[in-house]
Amino acid sequence: MKKESFFDKAGTRRVLASLVAILVGMLAGSVIILIVGLGNPSLGIKGAWEGIRLVVGGLFATGRNSSGGLTFGFNSASFGNMLFRAAPLIMTGLSVALGNKAGLFNIGAPGQYLAGTAASLFTALYLPTDVIPAWLVWIIALLMGMMAGACWGAIPGLLKAYLNINEVLACIMTNWISANAVTWLFDVSTLKNILEGTKSGYIYKTSTILNDVVIDGVRNTVGANIPEGAQVVASRGGVATAKMGLDSIFSGSQVNGGILVAILIAVVIYLLLSRTTLGYQLKACGANRYAARYAGIKDKRNIVLTMAIAGALAASGGALYYLSGNTEFFWNTYQSLPSEGFNGIPVALLAINNPLGVIFSAIFMSMLQICGQKLTELTAYNEYITNVIIAVIVYLSAFMLVIKMWIGKLRKGKAGDK
């Protein structure tokens, strides 16, 4: 029996297909930068070349020298911020990937992300640290956020399993319900009434609150000058996510241990899908729900369970991001949804729904965001060019099977020539 070569393996072709999507996306972005640069006299070919360099290597950009040229090197702040932003993307990417593995398209990650954010922030704001240790408050807040996301994710699962309602439609519905509910919860008057009952909590004792205001003579972490919403900062003593030494490596950045927690959860999901009976059942339901039922697998239970776990994962992304202690949750409209939830879709597609691959694709997407910022800071371009790159990658990821077949034909063609 002829041994299968490395490039003929299915896993290799999947990785190559992802790399093709990334390369074509970067090429498309570079072409757009070149066209815009040549069409703008203030940019020209020099400005276009600088834009291309920043899109490709903006993570290493350190500024400009005395003569105005771009300088590159190890930028600890950019690297740290990339890892910080990657944590919620890993979690929403895992949420979408898990659903895809089970044959479900979880487009409800934005709503689940909001539910987890609200639950974790309210828990962190309400529990008093003079009674409960700060580290335990953080853990409880994270778990409460995950529970809220699990409950919110289970709703489309129940509708799919027992009423055969398409999960995409159900998820869209729950997304906007979540947006409206969070808008009400973070309304200034509503939040003030809730927080008035926490006089024994840290809200009155902390010296690390980033936005201190006075409402009716009471000091709170609420932006009273914002008529349609509120700014909330979950920051006090030791409640913020532990740095775990990462701040000394990536000085000047927002990085914390949240990225390590996200990677750990990704490994757990990988082991769940590849090494457990439950994981096999979830994938069996995704392959063919009715065949799985015939084999004795409880398909309805697994559909609900899949969506609940997916909801918990997406919600934990919001919790990890906003429990960091150096971010503000600002919500004043029910007319939009958090981009982190939708960005989990390209992360999962690029990783071909592999939980370990999600780690790398999320870091790559986060890197593009940092490159977009550098593009705006150091040139006349704007960061939305990186959105074009992501869009191209998403479209190509959707045609991943076609790309794999194309790679296979190339391999066969080369073998035929020999």
Average confidence (pLDDT) over 118-122: 87
pLDDT at 410: 63
Residue 333 binned pLDDT confidence (cut-offs 50, 70, 90): low
d(CA 199, CA 121): 17
- Is the pLDDT confidence value at 9 over 80? no
Q: Residue range 291-314: average pLDDT?
A: 93
Closest of 368, 320, 66 to residue 329, by C-alpha: 320
- pTM for the model stands at 0.84
* More confident site: 224 or 408: 408
Q: Tokens standing for 372?
A: 């977009």
* 117 Cβ contact list (under 8 Å, min separation 6): 145, 182, 315, 318, 319, 321, 322, 329, 338
Give the residue-averaged pLDDT of 2-6: 57
Residue 265 pLDDT level (bands cut at 50, 70, 90): very high
Q: Over 50: is that where the pLDDT of 334 sits? A: yes
Give the model's confidence band at 96: pLDDT under 50 very low, under 70 low, under 90 confident, else very high: very high
pLDDT averaged over the chain?
A: 80
> What angle do the packed helices 400-417 and 10-39 form, to 10 degrees?
110
The residue with greater pLDDT, 196 or 118, is: 118
Does 160 score more than 60 pLDDT?
yes
For residue 132, the model assigns a pLDDT of: 83
pLDDT for the residue 381: 81
Q: Which residue has the higher pLDDT, 144 or 37?
A: 144
> Is pLDDT above 50 for 21?
yes
- State the Cα–Cα distance between residues 291 and 410, nearest whole angstrom: 35
- Structure confidence at residue 86 (pLDDT): 95
Structure tokens at 391: 């869009």
